[in-house]
A and B are shown apart, each in its own frame.
Chain A
Amino acid sequence: MVAKKICFAEAIALIIILVINRIILGIPKSLLVNSAFSATLTIIFVSIITILIILFINKLFKRFIASDILDISEFLAGNLLKKIVGILYILLFLGISILCLSYICDVLKSIYFEDADKLFLALFFIIGIVIVNRMGFSSIIKSNLIIVILTTIVMIVMFVLSIQLFVPERLFPLLGFGIKENSFAGLTDVFAFSGLTYIMLIFPFFKDTQDFYKTNIISTILVTIYLAISTLCLLLVFPNSVISESIFNMYILARLTDLGAFLQNTDFIYLLFWILSIFSYLSINMFFITNIFKKITNLKNRTAVVYAFSLIIFVSILLINNITSYNFLLNNVYKYYMIAVIVLSIIILILANIKKKKNSNKT
């Protein structure tokens, strides 16, 4: 057992925690507002495209065993490109962490802590992130696996309990606003599979390099199942108008499910596990932010900068005033920024492969 190396299950959990958070934070909603049952079809359509992209990425990584996108950038165009790509990824993870923290604090404030300040709630997350990041990557990854398993069980229970609330008529129109809209407009929904960004960075952490390729495929399939089920549950329980207007659909779904007379309000169980998964997600993001920063600045140790980046996240949540700002930033800025980063990474991978091939031909 080597420190800081992850096994197959831990890597899959690392990708899944992203999608769990996306589900909690409203990805199904953004998929659903434009279409009815076609949202599920869109997910399957997008997931097929994502799997094809993953297969392509796997092939591109075959020449760069145990390297991440930063190493590959350095190989391609030296230190400058490495730093540019590093900064782009840091901004990506910082951005999603700020958005996620701001959103969950707003939601918690509106549900349970009406009198509390948003910063006070954010402080809990920041404390958690700092403590855990000081412990190290291994502890984050292992605890993440526990949290993913527990959260998955809780969500399966929730989906099963919500079956009694299904209204089959809500499946119609089956193809939403038409095949054209679903296929082309739905392409941007590839950002639901934001695990792609982690894939670019996790290769050096694998114990067995073959696990990397398997993880990419299996995790994408699991993410598809996860997204499809959650979208279908929301779709069959709520009318489209409710979905587009409410802010925390999954919580509303959780409130509607009950387990008999005594356990009428089981939503606190779901919420407890969701908060745990957000803790885990933010901590993983912080790890990657500090790890990339360490790589591009040649720092000896990343723990010292954890405080600085935590402070940036903590203060930046003040920039997002409300959930409308969150939705705007997520759907109009972050979504396209993430796609751009992935596309850029793939281009770098292709060019690096060409360079490596040329180099090997020369020798």
Chain B
Amino acid sequence: MNNFKNKILSFLDNLFIYKETNKYDFFLPEKESCEVNTQKKDEMDISKQTDYEDIFPNININLEYMQIKYNALINSDVVIREFNLIAKNNEYKAFLIYLDGMVDSNMINDFILKPLMLRNSANTYIKDNQNKSITIVKNNYGIKKVKKFNLEEYIFNSLVPQNSIKKYTKFKDAISDINSGNCILFVDTISTVFSLEVKGFKARSIGEPSNEIIVRGSQEAFVEVIRTNTSILRRLVNNENLIIENIDVGKISKTKVAVCYLNNIANEDLVYEVKYRINNLDIDTLISSGQLEQLIQDDSSIFPQLISTERPDKAVNYLFEGRVVVIVNGSPYILIAPGVLVDYLSSPEDLNLKHQYSNILKLIRLIAYFFALLLPGLYIAITTYHQELIPTELLLAIASSRETVPFPLIFEIIIMELSFELIREAGLRVPSPIGPTIGIVGALILGEAAVSAGIVSPILIIIVAITGISSFAIPDFSLSFTLRLLRFVFLILGAVGGFLGIALGIFVYLCFISNLKSFGVPYTSPYIPNSNFTNSTTSFFTKPIWKREKRPSFLNPKKDNEEGKISMLWKKSKKEKE
């Protein structure tokens, strides 16, 4: 009894007595301060101050430059292997640079490191007449010249048994090859590097996406291995500014989590916030990205706040916008932060289709969104309280179809909704060969039998079917789940208060989503608060590809423009170009 009394008192305390809340509240800073930070960082950043073009003969300078360029201290998949190269029995300092996951390690070991490092007949062989002097007669004088040993030619011709090898003298060529999966060999005393083709990433055999299927676009999906996933991102981004930082999460499991972002685009505060949250988790184990999502999201509400995807192309699109990708080892679903409401209504296919097609699809999805949320609630509100709104013929049809049904409408509709959820859940759990059977049993036999038995009315079957189909049209699984749950709330509100109840639900719903934030970004962005969405890549309606000039301003990216003012330069006449 005392316990019950205490519980009531504590409930009343919580309800009426003000307590200082320690709610963690993160905001992305204003644009101005962000710009100042970026400017300061640029001043400090050596790589931006000195963007070298030509390769130096001094290996230490080359090494330092490449370390800065690739952020080697924090980038987990950038490998720099320093060693001593033997040529003509002399030792030269050298290093190899490559991206782990994109190269074949065996090829590097057997065909690059072994021939260069280990003493063998090729690298220790000294020809007798190697340094033989030759005499050139000029103006009746004999000049004695010693033929120098050419290390560059020697390595190229004699030491590296590779079928595809290129020589570069510019850093940008070398960096481009590293990004595409080659290994670059730097050797002391020469200002040329060797690009060795040792590509070893897994390509098409990775597997198709099973839940995010599209018609036009990439057909590969992430896998459970973190390094394979990072290599997929590397291959698609193909830029040295992609940073992949590894963090171990879980005191027992020490699960590898990779935080990926584009160094020159993503907002620094956003990146720090993601890393801060992941670094400050006091847990024993982490098994999947779903668990991590719940641990790092802003609010524990039912709305999804991080985008979850199995599609690399979708992840890369978001990376280029300035968002942060989080990969968890052992999970084929990666997380993208932050996520705003319009993201959950977008499909990766939207960007591949012409904007007219994708906008029609988006409009259909928007209608599906409202049907999935409100249709059963509106049906019950109209048929219970506002019958005069329905045209007379339709009203008579509804009344006659409900004539034989012995239950109140709310009971009838809850039975049908629950049955539908049961069929859906059973369809997911049963082995795939008998999956269609569940559909047939559920849709045809149960529906038909329920109508014949007079348990439900045929019009209600149509309402529940439209609602169910609409919830399948939502591209994001988590948002679809949210709508499924909220549908029941609207159902009850519609039954209790008709339109008044529905309006109450919509009002609270709007306030709730307006209050939500994902990593400091308002959930209703880019519309409320009003960001620049007219030329932005993130807005509900897709712009023509030539008009997607700006990155979403709500992310405060370091680079605002994604494309030039005129992206299709070929359309300009030659005169205009000049």
A interface with B by C-beta (< 8 Å): 1-3, 7, 9-10, 108, 112-113, 121, 124-125, 127-128, 131-132, 135-136, 138-143, 145-147, 261-262, 264-265, 267-268, 271-272, 275-276, 279-280, 283, 299-301, 303-304, 307
Contacts and interface: CB of A to CB of B under 8 A. Distances in A.
Contacts of A2: 27
B578 interface: no
Contacts of A141: 514
The 4 closest A-B pairs by CB, nearest first: A142-B514, A139-B515, A275-B503, A143-B510
Given A262-B391, A304-B18, A127 B504 contact: yes
B514 A146 contact: yes
Contact of A112 (B385, B506, B507, B512): B385
Contact of B27 (A3, A121, A136): A3
Best-surrounded residue of B29, B390, B528 (most CB of chain A within 10 A): B528
A132 B502 contact: no
A301 B30 CA distance: 27
A280 to B, nearest CB: 7
B571 to A, nearest CB: 35
Contacts of B389: 265, 267-268
B17 interface: yes
B528 A268 contact: no
A281 B493 CA distance: 21
Given A121-B500, A265-B388, A301-B18, A142 B507 contact: no
Nearest to B382: A268
Given A142-B528, A264-B391, A272 B514 contact: no
A50 to B, nearest CB: 26
Contacts of A267: 389
Given A113-B385, A276-B506, A280-B507, 19 more contacts: A1-B27, A1-B522, A3-B25, A7-B530, A108-B500, A128-B507, A131-B508, A131-B511, A135-B512, A136-B515, A142-B515, A143-B514, A268-B382, A268-B386, A272-B499, A275-B499, A300-B18, A300-B20, A307-B15
A299 B524 CA distance: 31
B338 interface: no
13 contacts: A3-B27, A112-B386, A113-B500, A121-B500, A135-B512, A142-B522, A142-B529, A146-B510, A146-B528, A265-B388, A275-B500, A276-B503, A304-B17
A315 B42 CA distance: 62
Contacts of A145: 528
Contacts of A7: 529-530
Main secondary structure of the interface of A (DSSP, over half): helix
B376 interface: no
Contacts of A307: 15-16
Contacts of A127: 504
A24 to B, nearest CB: 13
Contacts of B528: 10, 142, 145-146
Contact of B514 (A125, A139, A303): A139
B292 interface: no
Interface in B150-177: none
B498 interface: yes
B492 to A, nearest CB: 13
Contacts of B388: 265
A124 B511 contact: no
B175 to A, nearest CB: 37
Contacts of A262: 391
A31 B576 CA distance: 60
Nearest to B514: A142
Interface in B456-507: 497-504, 506-507
A303 to B, nearest CB: 7
B16 A132 contact: no
B381 to A, nearest CB: 9
B80 interface: no
B427 to A, nearest CB: 35
B405 interface: no
B213 interface: no
Given A112-B386, A113-B498, A268-B386, A143 B507 contact: yes
Contacts of B520: 1
Nearest to B507: A279
B28 interface: yes
Contacts of A124: 497, 500-501, 503-504
Interface string B88-109: 0000000000000000000000
A271 B529 contact: no
A147 B388 CA distance: 26
Contacts of B385: 112-113
Nearest to B385: A112
B553 to A, nearest CB: 12
A341 B500 CA distance: 33
A140 B511 contact: yes
A80 to B, nearest CB: 26
